[in-house]
């Protein structure tokens, strides 16, 4: 059942109502419960890294794969905060792109050099 709440313009809320109620969680008359729930959500427990993570050499795609595997396992075990894991994941994605672009640039340079040498020998 759809929430019965309508805003000042007469537009009806599109959320589902609470089971057995006329309004959704956000528009229910017991706003105190909603405010308490929002407050608890803002106080989510974060896991602080007690020891710095060991440095890793990240020069090849395989190195990044090992970093991601380690990070995933640490997040899953609760040893590492998900926000830190997410940050590592995003940065790893950027690093993989940089490694790939660098690899392609090196290959193009080798090919160009070979073509240039071939032209000068004929």
Two tokens, residue 112: 């160009």
What pLDDT was estimated at residue 114?
93
| In contact, 2 and 16? CB cutoff 8 Å | yes
Report pLDDT digits (tens) over 9-61.
Answer: 989 998 888 888 888 877 876 665 666 766 666 566 666 667 788 899 999 99
Of 49, 66, 47, the residue nearest 57 (C-alpha): 66
**pLDDT at residue 6 is higher than 80:** yes
CA 66 to chain centre: 18
Q: Pick the residue with more confidence: 17 or 102?
A: 102
| In contact, 95 and 103? CB cutoff 8 Å | no
Backbone torsion region of residue 10, taken as left when φ is above 0, otherwise alpha when ψ lies between -120 and 50, otherwise beta? left
Two tokens, residue 12: 């009806």
Please tell me whether the overall predicted TM-score, pTM, comes out greater than 0.75 for this model. no
């Amino acid at each position: 059942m759809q929430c019965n709440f309508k805003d000042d313009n007469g537009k009806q809320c599109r959320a589902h109502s609470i089971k057995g109620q006329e309004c959704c969680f956000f528009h229910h008359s017991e706003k105190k419960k909603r405010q308490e729930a929002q407050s608890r959500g803002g106080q989510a427990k974060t896991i602080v890294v007690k020891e710095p993570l060991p440095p890793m050499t990240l020069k090849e795609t395989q190195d990044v794969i090992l970093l991601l595997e380690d990070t995933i396992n640490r997040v899953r075990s609760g040893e590492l905060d998900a926000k830190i894991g997410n940050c590592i994941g995003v940065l790893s994605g950027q690093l993989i792109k940089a490694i790939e672009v660098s690899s392609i640039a090196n290959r193009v340079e080798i090919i160009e050099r070979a073509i240039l040498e071939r032209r000068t020998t004929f």
